């Protein structure tokens, strides 16, 4: 047994729901149209420049590079449409993926330091193998007891 006020309330709520869904569909369509009309964005251009500078990327890294480009496009589209939460998420994923392929300053520094350690190890091995070179051996002091 429903009363007249409950029926009108249900009809009104159903109408509000239809109008809300229609507004959301129109907003999504507008965002998609704006994103398709947008030129290549700043993030995609920056990623392309970074990829061009990464000489260590091999053919086996093609999937990761494609993901980086797709995320850069997604970040540009989200920025163009004003979808802040999607833009932040895309930037976060893009940073993580760039780090995995060695495209962030922190990872590049780690790679350079690791390469220098390997070079120094090769130099010290060459010095140790040379019979006419006396290596300078300085021993570290023992750690203090506390």
Question: Using an 8 Å Cβ cutoff, are 41 and 73 in contact?
Answer: yes
136 three-state secondary structure: coil
92 pLDDT above the threshold of 90: yes
**pLDDT reported for residue 37:** 61
3 pLDDT above the threshold of 60: yes
pLDDT one-digit tens code per residue, 99-142: 988 888 888 888 887 777 777 776 666 656 666 656 566 677 78
**pLDDT reported for residue 18:** 94
Q: How far apart are CA 9 and CA 28, in angstroms?
A: 28
For residue 104 the two structure tokens come to 């962030």
pLDDT one-digit tens code per residue, 47-91: 999 889 888 888 888 999 999 999 999 998 888 888 889 989 999
Q: How far apart are CA 47 and CA 51, in angstroms?
A: 6
* CB crowding 64-78: b at 16 or more within 10 Å, else e: ebeebbbbbbbbbbb
pLDDT one-digit tens code per residue, 18-32: 999 999 999 888 877
CA atoms 67, 72, 76, 78: torsion sign: positive
Residues contacting 74, CB < 8 A, separation 6+? 86, 90
For residue 29 the two structure tokens come to 């369509």
Terminal alpha carbon distance of the chain: 83
| 144-to-137, 139, 140 alpha-carbon distances in Å | 21, 15, 12
For residue 25 the two structure tokens come to 């569909």
38 pLDDT above the threshold of 80: no
**pLDDT reported for residue 77:** 87
138 three-state secondary structure: coil
């Amino acid at each position: 047994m429903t009363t007249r006020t409950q029926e009108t309330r249900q009809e009104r709520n159903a109408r509000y729901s239809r109008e809300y869904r229609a507004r959301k569909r129109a907003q999504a369509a507008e965002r998609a149209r704006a994103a398709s009309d947008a030129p290549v964005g700043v993030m995609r251009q920056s990623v392309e420049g970074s990829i061009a500078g990464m000489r260590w990327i091999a053919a086996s890294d093609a999937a990761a590079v494609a993901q980086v480009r797709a995320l850069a496009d997604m970040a540009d589209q989200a920025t163009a449409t004003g979808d802040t939460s999607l833009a932040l998420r895309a930037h976060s994923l893009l940073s993580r993926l760039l780090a995995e392929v060695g495209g962030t300053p922190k990872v590049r520094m780690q790679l350079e330091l690791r390469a220098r350690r390997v070079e120094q190890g090769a130099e010290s091995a060459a010095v140790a193998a040379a019979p006419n070179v006396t290596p300078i051996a300085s021993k570290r002091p023992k750690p203090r007891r506390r």
